[in-house]
């Protein structure tokens, strides 16, 4: 469990750490590895997002481009067509935080104008640094993720000498560059990129070493939901990885993660609330927080 760290999003400030935030996933794509095609209809995607908030999501993460291993990019226009009505519809109906999962400045701008609060960029702005200037202008939160290569080729024999140290160094450098572009440090969160250019031992080592990444002083976002490392452990397809997802999410929180990005919000939120209660009984960190992120000012 991480110590509290300030995260600033559009003039609101949140203390992340003692209570895990849950980020619910809404993929508006035909080809995502787990739920591709399920929420292509905007009305259905909006209802899905609202249901995730009801289940306990603090943030709804809307993505219009699959980033599964081997996937190809889509055009900015197509990505905007997919995500914009969903973000606008959610903004009209919920106060929960909304993030847009994109590396394209055009998509991020359309999403922020429609009411998104956070940009979740798997490229850590390596594809287009202008996205940082845009986020700073809007006062948005920004999630920097580590990825070796690009989604289409990232799983082609990735290699690290020390994966935890190398990912930490990358994220530290990206934080410094983001600040140089005018994005406040308090608006930055970091993501080790589980499954993004990592093999099985790499993923497990990163999850075991999350406290090292938390030492950078920024909230750590972890996406373990239904991922292939769980499938390899359990010999199970994506739709049969709930127990593994819960275990990985709880251990991520215990090891220092502040935000858990998942499909199965209700199950993970309930499991993590129990973990928080147990950890709070050890003393030193105080009681778990009760408020939802979307309602704190």
Catalytic residue list? 227, 261
CA angle, 138 then 141 then 145, to 5°: 130
Residues paired with residue 9 on neighbouring β-strands, in sequence order = 12
CB atoms within 10 A of CB 227: 21
Cα–Cα distance for residue pair 264/274, rounded to 1 Å: 16
Q: Are strands 118-121 and 97-101 parallel, antiparallel or unpaired?
A: parallel
* DSSP label of 2: P
SS3 state at 127: coil
CB atoms within 10 A of CB 288: 17
Cα–Cα distance for residue pair 64/250, rounded to 1 Å: 28
Comparing CA positions, the residue from 35, 34, 68, 260 lying closest to residue 147 is 68
Cα–Cα distance for residue pair 296/107, rounded to 1 Å: 27
Question: Is the Cα torsion angle 142, 91, 134, 198 positive or negative in sign?
Answer: positive
């Amino acid at each position: 469990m991480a110590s509290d760290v300030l995260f600033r999003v559009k003039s609101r400030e949140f203390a992340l750490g003692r209570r895990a935030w849950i980020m619910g996933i809404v993929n508006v794509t035909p080809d995502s590895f787990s739920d591709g095609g399920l929420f292509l209809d905007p009305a259905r995607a909006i209802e899905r997002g609202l249901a995730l908030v009801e289940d306990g999501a603090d943030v709804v993460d809307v993505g219009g481009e699959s980033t599964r291993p081997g996937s190809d990019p889509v055009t900015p226009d197509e990505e905007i067509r997919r995500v914009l009505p969903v973000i606008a519809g959610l903004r009209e109906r919920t106060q929960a935080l909304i993030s847009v999962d994109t590396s394209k400045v055009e998509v991020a701008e359309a999403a922020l104008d429609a009411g998104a609060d956070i940009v979740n960029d798997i490229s850590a702005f390596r594809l287009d640094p202008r996205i940082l200037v845009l986020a700073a202008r809007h006062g948005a939160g920004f999630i920097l993720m580590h990825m070796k290569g690009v989604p289409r080729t990232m799983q082609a024999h990735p290699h690290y000498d020390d994966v935890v140290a190398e990912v930490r160094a990358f994220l530290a450098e990206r934080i410094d560059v983001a600040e140089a572009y005018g994005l406040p440090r308090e608006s930055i969160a970091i993501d080790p990129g589980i499954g993004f250019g990592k093999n099985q031992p790499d993923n497990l080592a990163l999850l075991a070493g999350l406290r090292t990444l938390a030492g950078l002083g920024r909230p750590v976002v972890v996406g373990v939901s239904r991922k292939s490392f769980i499938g390899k452990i359990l010999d199970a397809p994506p739709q049969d990885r709930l127990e593994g997802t819960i275990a990985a999410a709880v251990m991520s929180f215990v090891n220092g993660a502040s935000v858990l990005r998942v499909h199965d919000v209700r199950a993970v939120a309930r499991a993590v609330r129990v973990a928080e209660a147990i950890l709070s009984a050890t003393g030193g960190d105080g009681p778990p927080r009760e408020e939802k992120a979307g309602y704190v000012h």
